[in-house]
Structure 1
């Protein structure tokens, strides 16, 4: 068993903000080693423990209280869903690592409370931004699975106006539509802010207003709404900026 690293080896960034504490959980030692190597080089991140299995991950999470846990998605089905529920109940945010085509397993662990998904071939820079975004409370979905994931999630209950219909996409301003479209592409608030050359609080504000106007709960539902409203042949306009 890999022992907890309470010291958070590696640079942890300057200033008064504590580092984001990360637990790595995957049964592949090589992948754990790669993740540890990447994350320990980053100021503001601290790898506090590693686990090779579900039971070990729960034990370590209870001991070291990470902010974010990176969990390998490898066909563990209900066991993985239970892990995500337990970690979420502890107040730990979960980011999944997996391959494209993860299918129903990915859908169910997201429903269990996972806050993000990244492909195993993600760049180090993208991985770091996803961890930071999830630690800030955002939900991040990798663009490599967005199409399949949204198609599966789309089968779930729809938010409506009481008559079974969602408010039209046109209820949003052009800028809100542009932000919503980038959310659907899997970009974090920081990445959207850089793309649109606005501040991160401005992006957060646009998303908050869009969710309220459309009667949606979170970023995942917003992404599904964009997916529906931009389907070929649905007679609706694409979001501004696309």
Structure 2
């Protein structure tokens, strides 16, 4: 599976009245996993699966129409498209909990930075999954204990000065943000960067936005200048 999208189908379930139980949308590109998630979540009387989708396009369309409280998104092999999906769902006011394999690495970090409210491994017990979905629907943040250490390290990897303040250098960026910034510094457009890295333009824009925020810069021109000035220090 490559590119910005993934194939799949959507199966809608008519929802009941607004309010409790919490309304849940399931999104994963594997039908068997979607069916398994539905079966697990239906055990909880305070959770109602209103739909399931096998593609990001279907998930966004269903979320816009059904307005679920929370969406369970399987990381699977989707890659950068997960962060874009999470960002779009969050923009609709839908909270997102991620379900993925251990060692999802940078894709997981990008999705959390895009607004995901939780993450659990596919190896968790059914009850743990139910508890996690319920907690996220109630406004909490849930991170699987087995991944917390790695995630906190990756999400807070910017170097600090002796006084504890965060350094404003390209070292404050993740590997993906660094790669995008390097291409910005080379003068490539968002479309060209997207083609080079085989991601969507929205994903590139998202990485640039985060990089600008973390570095305290205003626009891509400042980003390019800053990268040229500081990249050499990292190689010294």
Where on the TM-score scale, by shorter chain, does this alignment land: which range? Answer: 0.5 to 0.7
1:165 to 1:94, Cα distance in 2 relative to 1, 3 A: same
For 2:14, the equivalent position in structure 1 comes to 6
For 1:145, the equivalent position in structure 2 comes to 147
- The Cα shift of 1:18 comes to 1.2
Cα distance in structure 2, aligned partners of 1:17 and 1:63: 16
- The Cα shift of 1:100 comes to 0.8
Write out aligned runs for 1:120-199 (5 A). Answer: 120-156=122-158, 163-164=163-164
RCO comparison, higher one (Cα < 8 Å, 6+): 2
Please say if residues 84 and 94 of structure 1, whose CA atoms lie closer than 8 Å, have aligned partners that are also in contact. yes
- The Cα shift of 1:132 comes to 1.0
Which of residues 47, 50, 55 is equivalent to 2:49?
Answer: 47
- The Cα shift of 1:131 comes to 0.8
Write out aligned runs for 1:98-117 (5 A). Answer: 98-117=100-119
- The Cα shift of 1:165 comes to 5.2
Please say if residues 101 and 148 of structure 1, whose CA atoms lie closer than 8 Å, have aligned partners that are also in contact. no
- The Cα shift of 1:84 comes to 0.4
RMSD: 2.3
Q: Secondary structure at the match of 1:3?
A: strand
**Equivalenced residues, count:** 158
Cα distance in structure 1, aligned partners of 2:144 and 2:158: 20
Out of 148-157 and 97-106, give the one that drifted further. 148-157
Q: Secondary structure at the match of 2:116?
A: coil
Q: Deviations over 1:174-211 (max 9, x none)?
A: xxxxxxxxxxxxxxxxxxxxxxxxxxxxxxxxxxxxxx
- The Cα shift of 1:38 comes to 0.9
Which of residues 120, 124, 131 is equivalent to 1:118?
Answer: 120
For 1:68, the equivalent position in structure 2 comes to 70
Cα distance in structure 2, aligned partners of 1:28 and 1:117: 18
For 2:174, the equivalent position in structure 1 comes to none
- The Cα shift of 1:93 comes to 0.3
- The Cα shift of 1:6 comes to 2.0
- The Cα shift of 1:17 comes to 5.7
- The Cα shift of 1:145 comes to 1.3
Instruction: Please report the TM-score for the alignment, with normalisation by the length of structure 1.
Output: 0.60
Cα distance in structure 1, aligned partners of 2:61 and 2:19: 26
For 1:36, the equivalent position in structure 2 comes to 38
1:80 to 1:145, Cα distance in 2 relative to 1, 3 A: same
Which of residues 93, 98, 105 is equivalent to 2:95?
Answer: 93
For 1:216, the equivalent position in structure 2 comes to none
Instruction: Please report the TM-score for the alignment, with normalisation by the length of structure 2.
Output: 0.62
* Structure 1 gap ranges (5+): 167-242
